[in-house]
A = this chain, B = another copy of it.
Amino acid sequence: MPEHPEIAIKPRDVMPPAASTLPAPYYVDPAYFRREMDALYAGMWVCAGRIEQVAKPGQYFTRDLLGESLIITSNAAGRVNAFYNVCRHRGTRLCTEHAGTFAGSIRCPYHSWTYDLDGRLVGAPHMEEVPHFRRDEYPLHAVHAEVWDGHIFINLSPYPQPLLAQLGDLPGKFRPWRMEDLRLGHRIIYDVQANWKLIIQNYNECLHCPNLHPALNKLSHYLSGENEPLNATYMGGRMDLRPGVDTLSTDGTCPRAFLPGLSKEEVRRVYYYSIFPNMLLSLHPDYVMVHTLWPLSPGRTINICEWLFHPRELARQDFSASDAIDFWDMTNRQDWHVCELSQAGIGSRAYVPGPYSNREDLLYAFDRMIVELHSGSHR
Contact = CB atoms under 8 A, between A and B. Distances in A.
B357 A127 contact: yes
A210 B126 CA distance: 12
Contacts of A96: 341
A87 interface: yes
B351 A132 contact: no
Contacts of A316: none
Highest count of chain B CB atoms <10 Å: which of A86, A90, A207, A357: A90
Nearest to A129: B358
Given A110-B212, A345-B86, A130 B357 contact: yes
A110 B211 contact: yes
B212 A348 contact: no
A374 to B, nearest CB: 19
Number of copies: 3
B90 A354 contact: yes
B348 A84 contact: yes
A244 interface: no
Contact of A21 (B91, B337, B348): B91
Contacts of A354: 87-91, 138
A138 to B, nearest CB: 7
Contact of A129 (B14, B85, B124, B347): B14
19 contacts: A1-B129, A17-B132, A21-B89, A24-B91, A69-B348, A84-B350, A86-B345, A86-B350, A86-B351, A87-B345, A91-B342, A92-B341, A93-B345, A109-B211, A109-B338, A110-B211, A110-B338, A129-B357, A138-B355
Given A91-B351, A110-B212, A112-B210, 5 more contacts: A69-B344, A86-B350, A91-B342, A92-B341, A93-B345
